[in-house]
Chains A and B, each alone.
Chain A
Amino acid sequence: QKEVEQDPGPLSVPEGAIVSLNCTYSNSAFQYFMWYRQYSRKGPELLMYTYSSGNKEDGRFTAQVDKSSKYISLFIRDSQPSDSATYLCAMVGGADGLTFGKGTHLIIQP
């Protein structure tokens, strides 16, 4: 079992829809959780950063962490074509480097 599981997609939704992206993990040592957005041939861009279980909202984005279930989510409201990208979950715990999911390729159809 991989440490972080993320469905690679592609996930295609119409413009304006609510998008739900998810990751599961197996390592209880992970304490900090991040969502990055990556456009083709670019480096990852930090979107959300959370620590405790619960929700964190920033504009159209909401990050949700459930440590008891080892499950994290990113919700995007009022999705736009410009949101089309690959979304990576990442987490860090006892070690310094981030452990990433494979990324979900999201397509927002105009």
Chain B
Amino acid sequence: GAVVSQHPSRVICKSGTSVKIECRSLDFQATTMFWYRQFPKQSLMLMATSNEGSKATYEQGVEKDKFLINHASLTLSTLTVTSAHPEDSSFYICSARVGTGLRNQPQHFGDGTRLSIL
């Protein structure tokens, strides 16, 4: 149980393109989903917390107009990287928390999306 599916797994596109990444909880409902970014040999860094039916909460230094998050249902959150540039190239990973959004429930992760902007 607690499977999180992320799509696509790999994106290569030109600078200026907008890219949408989907994160789905397959066998549970997730009121809260999270988006992380991981640069090579670095920790996963939280970008934003996505709550179903409300606006996402962004971490300091993350541009909300560049990284658009939509959490329209209890099983789907999307991250759109708008007008992507080479410095946005990274490994983007989503996670979902089982249960009713309590902090004491562990997060389960998707397999990530490797984004390369040329």
Chain A residues with CB under 8 Å of chain B are 4, 8, 31-32, 34, 36, 41-46, 49, 51, 88, 90, 92-93, 96-103
B114 and A41 contact, CB distance less than 8 A = yes
**Docked pose: A101 CA to B41 CA in angstroms:** 11
Q: Does B46 contact A (CB under 8 A)?
A: yes
* Contacts beyond the supplied A45-B109, A98-B107, A103-B43: 6 A-B pairs with Cβ under 8 Å: A32-B104, A41-B112, A51-B104, A88-B44, A100-B45, A102-B42
Complex A-B, nearest 7 residue pairs according to Cβ-Cβ distance, in ascending order: A97-B46, A43-B109, A100-B43, A43-B111, A49-B106, A100-B44, A44-B109
**Docked pose: A4 CA to B45 CA in angstroms:** 12
**Docked pose: A2 CA to B41 CA in angstroms:** 16
Residues 97-118 of B, flagged 1 when their CB comes within 8 A of A and 0 if not, give 0000001101111111010000
User: With A43-B112, A45-B109 in contact, is A97–B41 under 8 Å at CB?
Assistant: no
Could you tell me how many residues of chain B have their Cβ less than 8 Å away from some Cβ of chain A? 26
Q: How far is the CB of B77 from chain A (nearest CB, A)?
A: 14
A8 and B46 contact, CB distance less than 8 A = no
Q: How far is the CB of B107 from chain A (nearest CB, A)?
A: 6
* Chain A residues positioned under 8 Å from B42 (CB to CB): 102
**Docked pose: A44 CA to B103 CA in angstroms:** 18
**Docked pose: A42 CA to B4 CA in angstroms:** 12
A36 and B109 contact, CB distance less than 8 A = yes
- Within residues 52 to 66 of chain B, which ones have a CB less than 8 A from any CB in chain A? 57, 59
Chain B residue at minimal CB-CB distance from A86: B41
- Point out the residue from B32, B44, B45 that lies within 8 Å of A44, measured CB to CB: B44
**Docked pose: A4 CA to B46 CA in angstroms:** 14
**Docked pose: A46 CA to B6 CA in angstroms:** 16
B112 and A42 contact, CB distance less than 8 A = yes
**Docked pose: A1 CA to B36 CA in angstroms:** 21
* Most chain A CB inside 10 Å of its own CB: which residue of B42, B44, B59, B107: B44
